[in-house]
Amino acid sequence: MNINEGPAASRQFVAHPPFWGSKVASKTTPAWQKNFARSYALMVVGVLAFSAVLGGLLLGVQSLAEGRVEWIQDFAGRGFRYTLLALLFGGVYAWFWWSRRRKIIVSVTSDGLTVNTRPGEAYSFSDAQLGTWGVTGGATMGTALHLQCGQHRFILGGRDRRVASGTRLEAPDAGYGQPVDVDAWLSAPDFEEILTLVSRRSGLDVRPPAPGQPTRCLLFPNSLLVQEMGAFATRKKREFLQSAGQPRLAIDVGADGIRVIDPNTNALIAAVSPAQVNAIPLVFRPVQRHWVPSLGHAISDAATNYWSSTPGMRVSVPGMPPLTIGCRDSVSGLDFRFSWPDNVPTEHARADYEVSGTDWLTLVEKFGLAPYLNRHGEADAADR
């Protein structure tokens, strides 16, 4: 949000912090993918150790409660367990709420950029670089601007902001699970203002896509499909996750046509007019098994409905099987950005593909589904 305060020669924007958990994922995901078997084994050991400690505490309190009054036994049997869970989730939520309320003030002049969370550092536009944000090698959550101040780097993301075809992207991809992540992000209109100043100082090509230029939307395998694999299918999971970062299909959306392409070979799979494509909104809600029934079916069902439900669509293109596409983009990392109305049909399965929020908006608009889409958090973010 542009707050237009301070000297006339500068502009100030309220930026948003990185998505919750993305900084941790940027450090842990590459190591996980490099040695999946060891990382998976460590995760299993950690879960078992936590379960053993929790079980020991419960047994200890229950043994102390033997022979005491009935209310103490009830607390040891159930109250302690739910109190511990409440403290755990309450602490996580409190930290999340605090981190989301931080205001990151970005001040911009014709020469560079400063950030209130990094006093004493001024990032010059002279050596600025552009890169993608979110998905290596293609259109993504947006564009990332990489700036330097000596040895310190600051990466500013522009959400849903695309660049013209052929734009030179010199900086590495930033985002969740990548070696680097954005330090803050802005909406596309605010980011556009900053890019205008950057281009004057650095000569970067920051042109947006030309009117009528086809937009490529990348379809990636749904990473949640790994949950359909057996608990000990380590090799299968490793192979799947290693390939999950590469798009399987691309849909080129143009003014007069829709083209489905293999992005790895550029082979044309289908080319049709928009009128020949039929898209139906769906909510993908897979059926989950209760692995830990002692925690209560109500808790498990609530988590299933929230975390596993994904807004999506079934797209029918002549000459190829229907495509099931979902989008799990979020406002800040935990709260979902999109949803459909309650009367949209539910499919008890997972989508085969998933797309970024930027590509999702392009497909929704092109296939005539935009009037039905609910968008969350964007008005609140603009008022921060």
Confirm whether pTM is higher than 0.85.
no
Residue 261 forms part of a structural domain = no
Q: Is position 366 within any domain?
A: yes
The per-residue pLDDT for range 324-341, each reduced to its tens digit, is 999 988 876 567 889 999
Whether pLDDT at 265 is above 80: yes
Per-residue pLDDT at 208: 85
**321 assigned to some structural domain:** yes
- Residues 345-363: pLDDT tens digits? 999 999 999 998 999 999 9
pLDDT above 60 (res 287): yes
Residues 174 and 86 in one domain: no
Is 354 in the same domain as 304? yes
Show which of 49, 66, 101 is a domain's final residue.
Answer: 101
Judge whether residue 343 has pLDDT over 90.
yes
Within this chain, do residues 194 and 138 fall inside the same structural domain, yes or no? yes
pLDDT of residue 226: 76
Return the pLDDT at 28.
47
Is the pLDDT at 116 greater than 80? The verdict is yes
Residues 233 and 330 in one domain: yes
Residues 224 and 313 in one domain: yes
Residue 97 and residue 108 in one domain: no
Residue 302 has pLDDT above 70, yes or no: no
- Give domain status of residue 228, yes or no: yes
Q: Is the pLDDT higher at 332 or at 142?
A: 142
Query: Which has the higher per-residue pLDDT, 15 or 79?
Result: 15
370 and 222 part of one domain: yes
Q: How many domains does the chain have?
A: 3
In a shared domain, residues 350 and 238: yes
- Higher pLDDT residue, 253 or 297? 253
Residue range(s) defining the domain that contains residue 222:
215-247+274-382
Residue 253 belongs to a domain: no
Q: 132 lies in a domain?
A: yes
Residue 221 lies inside a defined structural domain of this protein: yes
Q: Is residue 255 part of a domain?
A: no
Whether residues 78 and 164 share a domain: the answer is no
pLDDT number for residue 309: 83
* Between 67 and 221, residue with greater pLDDT: 221
In SS3 terms, the chain reads as CECCCCCCCCEEEEEECCCCCHHHHHHHHHHHHHCHHHHHHHHHHHHHHHHHHHHHHHHHHHHHHCCCCHHHHHHHHHHHHHHHHHHHHHHHHHHHHHHHHCCEEEEECCCEEEECCCCCCEEEEEEEEEEEECCCCCCCCEEEEEEEECCEEEEEEEECCCCCCCCCCCCCCECCCCCCCCCEEEEHHHHHHHHHHHHHHHCCCCCCCCCCCCEEEEEEECHHHHHHCCCCCHHHHHHHHHHCCCCCEEEEECCCCEEEEECCCCEEEEEECHHHCEEEEEEECCCCCCCCHHHCHHHHHHHHHHHCCEEEEEEECCCCCCEEEECCCECCCCCECEECCCCCCEECCCCCEECCHHHHHHHHHHCCCHHHCEECCHHHHHCC
Q: Which of 104-108, 187-191, 197-201, 309-313 has the lowest mean pLDDT?
A: 197-201
Both 123 and 73 in one domain: the answer is no
Specify whether 119 is located in the same domain as 94.
no
Q: What is the pLDDT of residues 165-205, one digit of tens each?
A: 888 888 888 876 677 889 999 999 999 999 988 888 788 88
On whether both 238 and 304 belong to a single domain, the answer is yes
